[in-house]
Amino acid sequence: MEELQDKYVRFDWAIKRLLRQKANFGVLEGFLTVFLGEKVTILEILESEGNQLSAEDKFNRVDIKARNSKDEIIIIEIQNTRELYYLERILYGVAKAITEHISLGETYYKVKKIYSISILYFDIGKGSDYLYHGQNHFVGVHTGDRLQVNVKERDAIVPRMPAEIFPEYILIRVNEFDKVAATPLEEWMKYLKYGTICPDTTAPGLSEAREKLKYFSMPPKERMAYDEHLSAVMIQNDVLDSAKLEGKMEGREEGREEGRAEGRAEGREEGRAEAYLTVARNMKQLETPIDIIVKATGLTPEEIDAL
């Protein structure tokens, strides 16, 4: 059994707060080294419209955006609950990151390579693996060869593969991981899923995490905020489960009268909305900070004030 003093902060909380500090870059670098398959050195954490800690930003909330020693941009986002158009959202986030780092009038040579890493705690689709990697290649329809593009760089013609320029996407399906941690990748997956780290770990970043991300090392105020975050995540998941159940029940009842398909859809939506309002009302009575209520329920601050 895990010792109480070795309780570790969840990665989604750490990445929003603790890992933005330069002193803790070793944890983040280890994580990226393992999942990108090459040594990564972080130079700085970047701010943009997408990764501000704002509860109102529902369109492109990136948890962290970093610049590495190759002058590439790495986006990391953690998603706890299902989102209908998640693939479209990560595409939008990558496109936004590209345009944020090239100014009007600059040559396209200034476009930066983007890595998008999504840590998912929901079922995004069918697949037997817990780790998926997507990359752009131009493949000959008849020959099967990969196209190599010649570009002019510093007055010289340089061959470059499209994969060196186009974004790369990595989807980490945490809930699908069910292996014994025997490799650095599996050790990281174990931490992402269960929040546990082996005392004798040699996985890049995890030994640093054992020192930097201990729950009882946080100041009391930070620990309280973290506990509220965990409560919000749990409530959010409970709301979704309750909404699904209520939606199914109401949908079946209305479906008998007006048509099964339409009734289920309306019942599901009404059940979800009522469940969110109930949770928000209870959290407000407990004097939970409004940004936590917004994050847990998806309601606007105005809707919460009106309760």
Q: For residue range 83-133, list pLDDT tens digits in order.
A: 778 889 899 999 999 988 887 677 777 788 999 999 998 888 889 999 999
Neighbours of 300 (CB within 10 A): 13
Q: Residue 218, class by beta-carbon neighbours within 10 Å (0-12 exposed, 13-18 middle, 19+ buried)?
A: middle
Chain-centroid distance of CA 180 in Å reads 24
**Residues β-bridged to residue 78:** 119
Neighbours of 29 (CB within 10 A): 21
Mean pLDDT of 40-68: 68
pLDDT in tens, 148-180: 888 766 666 777 788 888 999 999 999 999 998
* Most confident among 38-47, 239-248, 271-280, 294-303 (mean pLDDT): 38-47
- What is the rounded distance in angstroms from the CA atom of residue 24 to the CA atom of residue 221? 20
Pairing state between β 114-120 and 168-173: parallel
pTM (two decimals): 0.68
pLDDT in tens, 242-257: 555 555 555 555 555 5
Three-state secondary-structure class, residue 211? helix
Please answer whether residues 284 and 307 qualify as being in contact, where contact means their C-beta atoms are separated by less than 8 angstroms.
yes
- What is the rounded distance in angstroms from the CA atom of residue 28 to the CA atom of residue 163? 24
- What is the rounded distance in angstroms from the CA atom of residue 215 to the CA atom of residue 133? 32
